Structure 1
Amino acid sequence: MQTTIKRIILVLLTLVLCETGTIVTYAQTNSQALHNAKQQLQQQQKLVEQKAQEKQTVNKEIEQIQQELQSLYTFITQNKESMANTQKKIDATNQLIEKKKEEIVALEDKILARKGIMKQRAVALQQNDSLSLVINLFFESDSISEFIQRASAASALMDADKDILTAQKEDLQKIEDDKKEIDRQEQRLEEDQNVLAKQQAELNQNLQKRQQALTAMQQKLSQIVQQMALAEQEKAGIESQMKDMQAKIASEAATAKAQPVSAPAQSKPAAAVKGKEMYVSASAYTASCAGCSGVTTMGYNLKANPNLKIIAVDPSVIPLGSKVWVEGYGEAIAGDTGGAIKGHKIDVFMPTQSQALAWGRRTVKVIIMQ
């Protein structure tokens, strides 16, 4: 009787230990998934911060370009004002040029008229030389006073001829000077116009370049804003998944503690199986855990075939593809691997989470059949 009670107590302790191992194994799996989710969240947070910095940099570049554009607009306005002032000077100079041209025409007409007078004077002098003119004045005069008056008049006429010649020379020289001044003014105005036009062309070219740069920066800013919004959405999605995962871990852990444990039936005695024997630490997993793809390393689809007998192994200990016999599990295929499966450890596949929890963690015999 006492021996029976001891056996019952031993079985109960074994079941409790198996259940504890199952909870620990499942908790470790979910903890790993939660850890991966936290890493993804950190990466998304870094991405959001990076995009925020890029946005700030682009905004500064846009602000600088806008300041440069404002300066260019100011320069263009000033240049236009300078061109307007130059145009006023051009108009005034053109008026001056036209006035001088009119004066030249008047002087040329005046010179032409003087030529007629001078021609008549020359003919008169040829007909009467100076001595004959004096004799005629003497004999034709009725008195000494009349002679003096006629001599004074003749002298005045001869002096007038000299004045006409002098004025003629001065007017001709003034015409030449005015023409030269007109040429200088026209050349100077043309140079000023060319300089201002060149400045205006350069300013327009710079303005176009700055406008193109501003457009490019605005497009880049729009892309960064879109990327930030997408990163924020992904971040919110990961946070929501983490909350659901944490709630699921708490719920399933509570369910696992309350669920009775039953040991699976052994399909075949070890004595009937031949091959290389070893003892390993065995845990259990399912295809429905968070982050599980359901496809093993060797391509078995566990979600589509939940009744497959598959174990995850360390290929350096148990070769992939081997047919094995696992104590308490039966015959299976070594068709999967796992990040935590190193050395003499295996992970047996169970169709449901409740069966995986019931398996727990235990030390079992494994026979590599082939």
Structure 2
Amino acid sequence: MPTTGKRIILGLLTTMLCVSGSMVTYAQTNTEALHNAQAQLEQKQQIVEQKVQEQQAVNKDIQNIQTELTSISNDIANNQEAMAKSQEKIDATNQLIEKKKEEIVAVEDKMLAREDVMKKRAVAMQQNSNVNLIINIFFESDSLSDFIQRASAASELIDADKDILTAQQEDLKKIENDKAEIDRQEKNLEEDQKALADQQAALAQNMQKRQQTLTAMQQQYAQISQQVALAQQEKAGIESQMNNLKAAIQREQADAQARAAAASASARTAVAPAPVINNSASKGNGGSQGVAQGKEIYVSASAYTPFCSGCSGRTTTGLNVRANPNMKVIAVDPRVIPLGSRVWVEGYGNAIAGDTGGAIKGNRIDILMPTTAQALAWGRKTVKVIILN
């Protein structure tokens, strides 16, 4: 090979290595940033969940306090109703008391009148003894029948005096009993009214305390709601940052792939129009090497690794790619590229069609890369494939 060609190839290879190195460094930097963003996102998600739980707990406390306030309001209403009924009893009792007082006044007037009568009778009795009264009646009587009538009247008057004294004593006793009953009822009503008033004051105080607690709980709920909103906003910012990082990684991968493809194409153009292989299909006279021959197709190529999620480490044809991650293997649709075929893939080299995949349908292949970074760097591109046998 001429010296100029070697220099060109060396320069192209150097460019490819620089591009690959820059691409890997950039991918690693963005990957680390993406991992950090993912960790921050998980942390913010935990904060959001914690604040939501706190919010639910405070809301439950608010509901309990509101239930208590409703119960206290009902108790206050019932107590006010009881106070109203008690007031009605007090008013009715006061009316009875006033009536009793009027009755006492009437009895006292009656007793006062009796006292005047009794005073006059007492004076008459002092002036005339019972014997003199009888003698006077006898001498003043016109006849025996008149004497009997006068004596009977005098006896009735004496008995009447005794009845007046008895009635007077009974009325005095009744007045004393009525006054005692009035005092008792007034005392009971005052005690009942005081108890109801104390109960009402206690209920009002409890209502005020629970209302203050409710206000504090509502303020705490509003504060937690603000914290939840802030955490969700920060979470959305991190998600946006992650999306930007993913988009940047994809753009850089696409740019790097384009640069690598251009450098590879330039290298192939400087060396030969097509890869040279050594097999029975490419041998000329006497077994000499020649240009690769076979069916050419264009496919959409993605990349995978032996350690991808859900991978068993063995291909459909039984190759242990996990133990040999550097093997050149592609996954194909057997209807397009038969399993076991030897192929040449643009930008990848000689390989074996040794695997299949659920998503590999039609003109699509999946090339095996030893590491995730290399698989990400490959991304997805359209390449030429030559089926060698």
Q: TM-score if structure 1 supplies the norm length?
A: 0.66
Task: After TM superposition, give the deviation of residue 40 of structure 1 in Å.
Answer: 1.2
Compare relative contact order (CA 8 Å, sep 6+) and give the higher one, 1 or 2: 1
Distance in 1 between residues matched to 2:126 and 2:35, nearest whole Å: 131
**One-letter code aligned to 2:96:** L
- State how far apart, in whole Å, the 1-side matches of 2:22 and 2:153 are: 150
Rounded Cα–Cα distance in structure 2 between residues aligned with 1:182 and 1:239: 84
For 1:89, give the aligned amino acid: K
1:36, CA displacement in angstroms?
0.7
8 Å contact from structure 2 (residues 47, 231) kept in 1: yes
**1:159: Cα distance to partner?**
0.3
Q: Distance in 2 between matches of 1:153 and 1:46?
A: 115
Q: Within 5 Å, which residues of 2 pair with 1:104-123?
A: 104-123=104-123
Q: CA deviation at 1:7?
A: 6.8
SS at match of 1:171: helix
Question: 1:227 aligned to 2:223?
Answer: no
Tell me the distance in 2 between the aligned counterparts of 1:258 and 1:85. 95
Question: What fraction of aligned residue pairs are identical, expressed as a percent?
Answer: 67
Aligned to 2:26: 26
Q: Calculate the aligned-residue CA RMSD, in Å.
A: 2.1
Distance 2:203 2:242 in 1: 57
Q: Which amino acid aligns with 1:98?
A: E
One-letter amino acid matched to 1:237: G
Question: What is the rounded CA distance, in whole Å, between the counterparts of 1:13 and 1:252 in structure 2?
Answer: 20
CA distance in 1, matches of 2:101, 2:190: 19
Give the whole-Å Cα distance in 1 for the aligned partners of 2:97 and 2:157. 37
**Stretches of 4+ moved more than 4 A in 1?**
1-15
2:171 maps to which residue? 171
Find the counterpart in structure 2 of residue 65 from structure 1. Answer: 65
Aligned to 1:249: 249
Name the residue aligned to 1:236: 236
Residues 52 and 228, structure 2, Cα contact 8 Å, conserved in 1: yes
For residues 142 and 254 of structure 1, the distance between their equivalents in structure 2, rounded to whole angstroms, comes to 161
Q: Cα distance, 1:200 vs. partner?
A: 0.6
Matching residue of 1:363: none
1:106-154 Cα offsets, whole Å, 9 max, x none, are 1111111111101110111111111111122222223322222221111
TM-score (norm 2): 0.63
Equivalent residues of 2:62, 2:218 under 8 A apart:
yes
Instruction: Give, in whole Å, the separation in 2 of the partners of 1:86 and 1:18.
Output: 100
Whether the 8 Å CA contact 2:65–2:214 is kept in 1: the answer is yes
Alpha-carbon deviation of 1:10? Answer: 5.5
Tell me, yes or no, if structure 1 residue 180 matches structure 2 residue 198: no
SS at match of 2:142: coil
What is the SS of the residue equivalent to 2:81? Answer: helix
1:191 and 1:60 mapped to 2: Cα distance? 41
Q: Distance in 2 between matches of 1:238 and 1:89?
A: 73
Mapping of residues 58-207 of structure 1, within 5 Å: 58-207=58-207
Kept in 1: contact 2:20–2:256 (CA 8 A):
no
- Alignment partners' CA distance in 1, 2:112 and 2:10: 149
Distance 1:5 1:110 in 2: 153
Q: Which residue of 2 aligns with 1:345?
A: none
Cα separation, 2, equivalents of 1:138 and 1:129? 14
> Which ranges of structure 2 fall in alignment gaps of 5 or more residues?
264-389
Structure 1 residue 5: Cα displacement: 6.1
Q: 2:41: which partner in 1?
A: 41
SS class of match (1:142):
coil
Measure the CA separation in 2 of the matches of 1:258 and 1:67. 69
Three-state SS of the structure 2 residue aligned to 1:26 is: helix
Q: For residue 310 of structure 2, what is the aligned residue in structure 1?
A: none
Instruction: Provide structure 1 residue ranges, at least 5 long, that are not aligned to the other structure.
Output: 263-370
Q: Measure the CA separation in 1 of the matches of 2:132 and 2:258.
A: 163
